[in-house]
Structure 1
Amino acid sequence: MSSNDELSCVYAALILQDDDVAITAEKIQTILKAANVEVEPYWPSLFSKALEGVDLKGLITNVGSGVGAAPAAAAPAAAAPAAGDAKKEDKKKEKEPESEEEDDDMGFGLFD
């Protein structure tokens, strides 16, 4: 669960990115002071280090592009083993009655 400190730093970083300004701890802290938001002192530096060298605009615009493709690609691969599993289950079902018959043939029964 996100804390208000984290959320405040995220919004400050997004504001800086929207204005094409480099995301630094000092600039995040400046935005937070202007908004009268107090956060723990380590949050701005943590966010600036985490976002250092990251293309934030590319990250934001590509959030939804990969999400839909991954399950669709995995579905055919998952369907093939499922068919094989169904055959194995059929064989298991066929074997189970045989084991019951063997017990009956030996004179062992539930109500004997």
Structure 2
Amino acid sequence: MSSTSDLAATYAALILADAESEVTSDKILALTTAAGVDIEPIWATLLSKALKGKNIKDMLSTIGVSSGPAAPDAAIASTQDTAAKPVEDAAPASDDGNDSDDSDDMFGGGLFD
């Protein structure tokens, strides 16, 4: 099925839902034929079966709304909160009493050495 046929069948289903009419393969075929787009009857049948018992208007109004992963704004806020906190020294305290920062020596020198 071409993208034009896909769109025509989908739009036909939306038109039927908006008119609060049952979405059937016969009605989809009638609308697409009236629009001058020929589709295979099997595609109209498959679309009508896929939408049977579904509230298409509710489906459209909830597109993009999910209870899945956190929203990007929440992730950004979380990152900003973390960035605002002071970073604790990850290197363990040395037992020799020397409080100098030896972490650069551990990896072969500092960033700009």
**TM-score under structure 1 length normalisation:** 0.62
Measure the CA separation in 2 of the matches of 1:5 and 1:95: 69
Change (3 A) 1:47 1:95: farther
Counterpart check, 1:97 vs 2:104: yes
Tell me the amino acid that sits aligned with residue 9 of structure 2.
C
1:77-88 to structure 2, matched below 5 A, reads: 78-79=78-79, 87=87
Counterpart residue number, 2:94:
none
1:28-67 to structure 2, matched below 5 A, reads: 28-63=28-63, 66=65
Change (3 A) 1:48 1:95: farther
Is there any run of 5+ residues in structure 2 with no aligned partner, and where?
A: 92-100
1:11-26 to structure 2, matched below 5 A, reads: 11-26=11-26
Contact residue 23 and residue 51 of structure 2 kept, 8 A:
yes
Question: Residue 71 of structure 2 aligns to a residue in which SS?
Answer: helix
Measure the CA separation in 2 of the matches of 1:53 and 1:74: 35
Identity %: 35
- RMSD of aligned Cα (Å): 3.4
Tell me the amino acid that sits aligned with residue 18 of structure 2.
D
**TM-score under structure 2 length normalisation:** 0.61
Contact residue 25 and residue 41 of structure 2 kept, 8 A:
no
Counterpart residue number, 2:75:
75
Runs of 4+ in 1 over 3 A off after TM superposition: 80-83
* Count of residue correspondences: 93
Counterpart residue number, 2:96:
none
